Amino acid sequence: MSRTPAVDSAAPGFTLPGTLRTDSGPQRGSYTLGEHGGGPLVLVFYPGDNTPVCTKQLCAYTSELERFKDLGATVWAVSPQDLDSHEGFAEQYDLRFPLLADTDRTVARAYGISLPGLGLRRSVFVVDGEGAVRWKHVALAGLTFQDVDTLTARIAEVTQGRPAAG
């Protein structure tokens, strides 16, 4: 397994297919790091659609999505499932941020969170508008996740120019 990118280093670039649930239905597209609007990007890696902890995590982020938006942040979630799986998951739980399909785990490997034979480590990276990692959390076990209060506090530190602890 490669190492995770260090805080203040460049985030590994990528382009992945993704889907976004909208009121008019799912919209598929390509998502490229650096083309998320210039504010902080909260890059959420999760092991799988329709699993208990992942569902709880992404539902928590969806229910508080306005808090992320108020800080100028965008949320993208990445897992190894395909777009069909993501669309069903997003529809069932009304997830309102893009779900990206890293089916061959290339991006997970680039971020140092791929676990051969086991999937990936639940992780969150906050990437600034210049493409640098400003904060990260990589779980040893995937049974817990970073809550919205923790993430929004870290994003606020990043957007105010202070180093994010952690």
Q: Where do the domains of the chain lie, and which CATH numbers do they carry?
A: 37-159 (3.40.30.10)
* pLDDT for 117 beyond 80: no
> In degrees rounded to 5, what are phi and psi of residue 63?
-65, -20
Q: What percent of the chain lies above the pLDDT cut of 90?
A: 77
Give 164 or 18, the one with higher predicted confidence. Answer: 18
Among the listed residues 142, 160, 18, 149, the one whose alpha carbon sits nearest the alpha carbon of residue 78: 18
Going by pLDDT thresholds of 50, 70 and 90, the confidence category of residue 34 is confident
* pLDDT for 9 beyond 60: yes
Lowest mean pLDDT among 72-81, 126-135, 137-146: 137-146
Among the listed residues 30, 12, 161, 42, the one whose alpha carbon sits nearest the alpha carbon of residue 101: 30
Half-sphere exposure of 100 (CA within 13 A, CB side): 22
Q: What pLDDT does residue 160 have?
A: 81
Among the listed residues 144, 140, 110, the one whose alpha carbon sits nearest the alpha carbon of residue 127: 110
Q: What percent of the chain lies above the pLDDT cut of 70?
A: 93
Among 44, 54, 113, 158, the active-site one is: 54
Q: What pLDDT does residue 162 have?
A: 54
59 classed as catalytic:
no
Ranges 87-91, 138-142, 143-147, most confident? 87-91
Half-sphere exposure of 80 (CA within 13 A, CB side): 18
